[in-house]
Amino acid sequence: MSNHHPQTSIIDGFYEPSDYHGAVKMPVHHSSTYTFESAEQAAQFFEVSQGKRAPEPGQPGFIYSRLNTPNLQLAEQRLTIYDGGEAAALFESGMAAISATAMALLQPGDVILHSEPLYGGTDNFFRDMLAHWGVSLQSYAPNETAAEIIARIDKSGKTERIAMLYVETPSNPLNTLIDFEVVMEVRNHIHAAGGAAVVVADNTYLGPVFQQPLKLGVDVVVYSGTKYIGGHSDLLAGAAIGSKALIQKIKKIRTSLGNMAGPHTAWLLTRSLETLDLRMRAAEANARAILNYLESHPKIEQLHYPGYKRQEAIYARQCSGSGATIGIELKGGQAAAFQFLNNIKLVKLAVSLGGTESLATHPPTTTHSNVAESIRLAYGIRPGLIRLSVGIEHAADLIADLEQALKKVTAV
Ligand code: PLP
């Protein structure tokens, strides 16, 4: 591919209109299976798909749509652009990507060492499903040093069994950053002890525009593509990006589970990727305008935003922007949070984030209601917390909506 900037390659890369009757955009390929020119070619394509031989140059190699499609392939090739990965695997949801990655890289008896807190769905999958298959969990808090984490894992006697270091940064919903330098120090300690821990990072909140963990030593980046990458609240998708060898392993599981993204999802995602940089920067500018407005508001207890009044050094090392999801803690606890949410008009009351429209939700009673209250409170997810995903509407209209809703909050 040419030496273009990511903003150009995301529109032009990996696609030749002349291969598709001159179509400027790749059409959607609604076909479940693909014909071969000969039985020999069929055998050859299967060998390529199983990693037994390299593809011949210029040979498309499509077999059956659970394995690959032109739309899936283009979306995956373009997903590697911002993150700088060798390969990508696209799924029908973020949880499909996370669960397939865990299943591909773990076996019974292994341990996952993960950062706290995690998105509720990931937390449930690790705690309920993986524990069921003999994978155990250890976790650490964002403020722990590498020495503290290492001392604890060594004491457990399972250091070399830690097969995965799983990181979510910024974390949902408090925007707490996990320091990649600490993660790498712990990883190096595990490797020195004879373990082969792979580092996996959920980059949903900032990536790939404002954070690229593969460039900081992470092995596999996972995404809920439903959020900023999809960006229009009209699709569910997930992705894993990393080296060819690791993504090949993950795709092998995906082929067995059949949870790859279909051609239409892949097509929608390819369309969305073209405007990802513009959308994320516009939403971030809006989030900063809202933060400025809320900063001195008397009904606000605390604001949670990456790099804002805490963790500035970590932020400067690993992020180039703060994104557009803000944790807003109201004075007056759950009653105040509910009054606020019941009065927003332009901002929609819904879970999810990263769309063109602004959304707000109450994590303690929705997205994180499955996390035990004691754990929630230990994480700092208190009853007055609202998660606001800022969209790309006009900032003045958003601020006016927040202002009128805050006026109706009396439970402070
Ligand atoms: N990771 C994070 C940080 C999320 O916020 C979510 C969903 O909210 C997921 C993963 C799961 O993604 P999906 O809903 O696309 O399965």
Distance (Å) from CA 122 to ligand 1 centroid: 8
Whole-number Å distance, alpha carbon 238 to ligand 1 midpoint, is: 8
**In the prediction, which pLDDT does 1 show?**
58
Lowest mean pLDDT among 68-72, 131-135, 240-244, 352-356: 131-135
Pick from 55-59, 194-198, 328-332: least confident:
55-59
Q: Is the pLDDT of residue 225 over 90?
A: yes
Instruction: Calculate mean pLDDT across residues 7-31.
Output: 97
For ligand 1, whether the C-beta of 325 sits within 6 Å is: no
Instruction: Locate all alpha helices (DSSP H) within 169-243, ordered by sequence.
Output: 180-192
Residue nearest (by alpha carbon) to ligand 1 atom 7: 224
Query: Do 299 and 336 meet the contact criterion of CB atoms below 8 Å apart?
Result: yes
- 59 pLDDT band, cuts 50/70/90, is confident
Looking at the domain covering 69-273, what would its CATH class be? Answer: alpha beta
Cα–ligand 1 centroid distance for 171 (angstroms): 11
Average pLDDT value over all residues in the chain: 96
The average pLDDT across 173-180 equals 95
Which of 289, 305, 323, 303 shows the shortest CA–CA distance to 401? 289
CATH 3.90.950.20 fits 280-407, yes or no: no
Average pLDDT over residues 97-121: 95
CA atoms of 397 and 18, how far apart (whole Å): 45
282-334 pLDDT per residue, tens: 999 999 999 999 999 999 999 999 999 999 999 999 999 999 999 999 999 99
Which backbone phi and psi does 69 adopt, to 5 degrees?
Answer: -145, 160
Q: Is 167 in the pocket of ligand 1 (CB under 6 A)?
A: no
Say if residue 120's pLDDT is above 90. Answer: no
Instruction: Read off the pLDDT band of 57 (50, 70, 90).
Output: confident
Query: What was the pLDDT predicted at 307?
Result: 96
The pLDDT > 90 percentage for the chain reads 89
Residues 250-274: pLDDT tens digits?
999 999 999 999 999 999 999 999 9
Q: What is the pTM of this model?
A: 0.96
Look at ligand 1, atom 13, and give the residue with the nearest C-alpha.
94
How many angstroms separate the alpha carbon of residue 359 from the centre of ligand 1?
15
The residue whose CA has the least distance to atom 14 of ligand 1 is 94
Residue 61 C-alpha to ligand 1 middle, in angstroms?
A: 32
62 CB under 6 A from ligand 1? no
Contacts 24+ apart (CB under 8 A), 69-73: 69/29, 69/31, 69/263, 69/266, 70/26, 70/29, 70/263, 71/26, 71/28, 71/29, 71/263, 71/264, 71/266, 71/267, 71/270, 72/260, 72/261, 72/263, 72/266
The domain ranges of the chain are: 69-273, 280-407
Q: Measured from the CB, is residue 99 less than 6 Å from ligand 1? A: no
